[in-house]
Chain A
């Protein structure tokens, strides 16, 4: 086996490398589907390599090379094709695909018509990295844009699913940067850690795959990709060939490792945390079970898309996958989670389906209508998504993409982690309280025992220790509170992308409710939408929109219930900022200054409140019922000033006429 090529490769080295990779790939492929796999290098010295199964004469290969050359010339000269990557010829039952792998190396594959030869290319790419670049990169992985690992080569033992999940965070980031800065699509993203870690993610043209390489060092060249590798990788455009049915036999080692990594994995939810989240409860599990059983019964489906379940249940991927694991583990549902062989979508495969009768068929019609309702309203989603171009993409695609992105917005505005944060703070607060009480007791004892030297010394020593402990607890609180404040502001920045801050609150006849009024931000415009709702979410939104400077001020002349809540929120914020701005931790302190952390969660909007608010706006109608449009169809948000305007005052779906 060839080990560690020099990185400036010559054509022969490249041919040998692809040859080795193809040989190894052959062992992973179902060779009954492939009649022929050969490599040809159209150099002056013609090189040919055919796999164990294929028998090719030199003359035929040379002829094929000649044909390819002529075809290339015709296409580049006559049709002005700039580059030329692959050629496919299909008959009813067979297909020949020729890929150009760089350095004049051609890969010719003759297979059954139904087989996708991109699979071969993906596996070859993996072995090329494994054989030729094992010295150059510490880790190389191929991840689909949906966050599934296609393959991973790593010198360290690493779980490929966790690796893929971590890269997905980066993919979200890149998408966001592209959108915010209008970078016109992204080719690569390089990440450098404070230590020595370098990471490079390259995207293929259709942005459905991410190739990740990492290496230690400070020189960015350590993670650059050779042009041949890049060109080979960029030919693989289909993300959905990979097929990975989860094994039925539980791999205990893997489970244990996964568990350990999960626990050590900062920022991701652990099992324990998941259980503390409100969403992972019996009610949710029951409704998930019902949903699965209903779909299975009504559609006689034994495969259900995980994406569908995620949207239907409004659950983050991690939670849904754990809930499914649990239901399957408990035997409530009989089946397994895997990937569709052709499309690569993650699916739940159920063991048996139920026969349907006439009633069921009637029911199917009803459910179909309900499912249709799921896709309403589309307009509001489109207004939020400038990247979606309805004229260029098929409507169905727009809808699913829009729903997907709206879901992403909802996920990003997830406040559950912030609640966990507040819990942490509470527990340090409780420790501080108990330390302070002990300190006060010690102080008292010290003042009472001024004659006994030994006891006095011991008490003084304990006091010293306690002072140190209190200092540490207070520093921890200050640090965490600062972090909390940043996350809090960020979460509201996201909320303001989903929910408009109201311009006015009016009294409602119903106790505990107010009339919340939204108006187009154009000065003279009278387009208004009113809803009757609990004031909590909307008051919070107004307070933070004012704090972030997005809105000029809190609505004047609000009812007492609103003013009361506003005052409470502002006081909490005042205490919080005072603590952050405290120049240094002084020795004397008042425990009362820290008591507010007990109630910090009052500053947050829960996920349920967020969803209720979105639903209210979806149901809200302008005027007196004549206009059938809801809030999101009537209003759009300007991406420059973040204000909401009615359609008349928007130039495009995401720009107001004033920006």
Chain B
């Protein structure tokens, strides 16, 4: 991906992190399953970019598996595709928003509304991608 676009995305994500203290991690993935950018909140409130391909690939695989498995569920009930998966965990909440141009994976503290953040990101970043 173009370095300039990546920088712009980073700036946007940093702002989102700043506004929402409950966010722990955001990972942006292309619909084909390739990692774009992943930012993680460190304990001392700084942000770091995850560059380890092993970890990035795992998140990408998770996004891929989520879409496929989610679609299997929806296909018995209706012919819809997956737009959002929101998993409420005991220590973390996770949301995966799927749109034609982007998959966002957002991890927050419990009740941190990652679903709203992920969907908003997908809408906002549409123009950039």
- B-contacting residues of A (Cβ < 8 Å)? 139, 158, 162-163, 165-167, 169-170, 172-174, 176-178, 180-197, 199, 214, 220, 261, 265-268, 482, 485-486, 489-490, 493-494, 548-550, 638-643
Contact = CB atoms under 8 A, between A and B. Distances in A.
A215 to B, nearest CB: 11
A176 B62 contact: yes
Most A Cβ at <10 Å: residue of B66, B88, B93, B107: B88
Interface in B53-96: 53-55, 57-59, 61-62, 64-66, 68-94
Contacts of A493: 57-58, 61
A615 B27 CA distance: 37
B69 A197 contact: no
26 contacts: A166-B74, A166-B75, A170-B73, A172-B69, A173-B69, A181-B92, A181-B107, A184-B92, A185-B90, A185-B91, A187-B89, A188-B87, A190-B86, A191-B84, A191-B85, A192-B84, A266-B72, A482-B32, A485-B32, A486-B32, A548-B53, A548-B57, A638-B54, A640-B55, A641-B55, A642-B57
A642 B58 CA distance: 9
Contacts of B94: 177, 181, 183
B76 A162 contact: yes
A273 to B, nearest CB: 15
B71 A267 contact: yes
B62 A186 contact: no
B80 A193 contact: yes
A195 B77 contact: no
B122 interface: no
B102 to A, nearest CB: 14
A38 B29 CA distance: 56
Nearest to A178: B89
A194 B83 contact: yes
B54 A173 contact: no
A489 B33 contact: yes
B73 to A, nearest CB: 5
A204 to B, nearest CB: 13
Contact of B82 (A172, A193, A640): A193
A643 B77 CA distance: 40
B52 interface: yes
Contacts of B87: 174, 177-178, 183, 186, 188-190
B115 interface: yes
B96 to A, nearest CB: 8
A550 B57 CA distance: 9
A188 B62 contact: no
B72 A267 contact: yes
What are the 3 closest A-B residue pairs judged by CB atoms, nearest first? A183-B89, A193-B80, A184-B91
B45 to A, nearest CB: 20
Interface residues of B, number: 43
B40 to A, nearest CB: 12
Contact of B69 (A139, A170, A199, A489): A170
A193 B57 contact: no
A235 B66 CA distance: 29
A493 B94 CA distance: 22
A266 to B, nearest CB: 5
Contacts of A643: 54
Contacts of A189: 85-88
Among B55, B69, B73, B75, chain A packs the most CB atoms within 10 A around the CB of: B73
Contact of A490 (B33, B76, B81): B33
Nearest to A188: B88
A581 to B, nearest CB: 11
Given A197-B78, A265-B75, A183 B62 contact: no
Contacts of A214: 77
Nearest to A639: B58
Given A158-B76, A184-B90, A195-B78, 13 more contacts: A166-B77, A183-B91, A185-B90, A186-B88, A190-B85, A193-B74, A220-B115, A261-B76, A266-B75, A493-B61, A494-B61, A639-B58, A643-B54
A639 B62 CA distance: 13
A173 B76 contact: no
A65 to B, nearest CB: 34
Contacts of A192: 82-86
B33 A199 contact: no
B61 to A, nearest CB: 4
Contact of B88 (A162, A187, A261, A550): A187
A187 B54 CA distance: 28
A638 B58 CA distance: 12
Contacts of A172: 69
Contact of A186 (B64, B65, B80, B89): B89
Nearest to B84: A192
B73 A166 contact: yes
Nearest to A156: B77
Contacts of A178: 87, 89
Contacts of B89: 178, 181, 183-187
Given A188-B88, A193-B82, A139 B77 contact: yes
Contacts of A642: 54, 57-58
A199 B76 contact: no
B74 A197 contact: yes
A186 B84 CA distance: 17
A180 B59 contact: yes
Given A181-B107, A486-B32, A548-B53, A173 B88 contact: no
